[in-house]
Amino acid sequence: MNKEMEGLFKRAKEEGLWFWCHYQDLWFSPDELRKAQADGRFRWGAVNWKLRDPREQVKKLERQAAEKLSEANSLRAVLAKS
Break the chain into its structural domains and give their ranges: 3-81
pLDDT over threshold 70, residue 1: no
pLDDT tens track for 17-67: 999 999 999 999 999 999 999 999 999 999 999 999 999 999 999 999 999
> What does the alpha-carbon distance between residue 33 and residue 67 come to, in Å, rounded to a whole number?
30
Residue 2 confidence (pLDDT): 86
> What does the alpha-carbon distance between residue 19 and residue 31 come to, in Å, rounded to a whole number?
10
pLDDT tens track for 53-80: 999 999 999 999 999 999 999 999 999 9
